[in-house]
Amino acid sequence: MPYQYRTTGGDCGCGPSCPPQSAPPPSGGCPCGDSFRQALDLLCSQQFYGLVDFGSFAFVSDYFLLGASIEAPAGGSQPGDNLTALSATYRCGSCGCETAAASGPLFPPTVGGLAQAGTVSQAALCRLTAVAFDAADDASLTNAANYQAIVQLFTQLLRPAMPQTCVSIADSLTTGVTATATVAAGPLLVENALVLGQLGKLLVLANSTDGRFYLVCADKIDFIG
């Protein structure tokens, strides 16, 4: 696939860049928006950029999915999820203060749901439950090699669990870099995935079967196993 070129001015042509803020906005109605912004910007950094397939993303909310539909999970002991092939495109660069530049088919959160009519060009970060993306598969490195490189980068960068009196969901899952978990968050189900750690309020998971990664809002997780 052709590479997506990063922008440096904080704008992808679909809105003004964010003005400087002396204090972060209240997060009561937006539990993970800032963390999704941080994570997506990280994927566009020089470290990650050549390893990520920017044409194989899915943006998951409670009510719709951009770039994938829901299917019955395979089950068993291997890593997997309940998403079809990822087809949303994420374009590096901010698309305003509260959105990401993302496009692709829009699906309802039901098994076998059909693509909805209409054109989507932005995803509201505050409404997201999770973002999934695949490692790149190009002429120089295979998907498996890029997957392993991303795992190594995340392992070096992510925050491990911090001991505390009342353990959060994310901390309970990040007790070790070799830990695996099954996580249900909104319509997304990820099974037997490698738990890589936390990025802000996001839980980062890896699925070696599909060469796929998940950024899951910890406040949107319904069940863990």
**Reported confidence tier of residue 164, pLDDT bands at 50, 70, 90:** very low
pLDDT value, residue 220: 94
Q: Is the pLDDT of residue 217 over 90?
A: yes
C-beta separation of 2 from 81 below 8 A: no
DSSP string, 73-122: ---SSS-EESB----BEEEEEE-SSSEEEEES-EE-SSBTPPPPSS---E
The pTM score is: 0.84
pLDDT value, residue 140: 66
pLDDT value, residue 121: 92
pLDDT value, residue 178: 55
Contacts of residue 217, defined as CB under 8 A and 6 or more positions apart, other chains included, come to 31, 32, 35, 36, 128, 129, 130, 185, 201, 202, 203
Q: What is the pLDDT of residues 113-156, one digit of tens each?
A: 999 888 899 999 999 999 999 999 876 668 899 999 999 999 99
Q: What are the boundaries of each domain within the chain?
A: 33-224
Phi first, then psi, for residue 146 (nearest 5°) are -65, -40
**Helical (H) or strand (E) element with 33:** helix 33-43
pLDDT value, residue 28: 59
Q: What is the pLDDT of residues 50-109, one digit of tens each?
A: 999 999 999 999 999 999 999 998 888 899 999 999 999 999 976 666 899 999 999 999
pLDDT top residue among 176 and 198: 198
Q: What is the pLDDT of residues 177-211, one digit of tens each?
A: 458 999 999 999 999 999 999 999 999 999 999 99
DSSP string, 129-173: EEEEEEEP--SSS-HHHHHHHHHHHHHHHSB-----SS--HHHHH
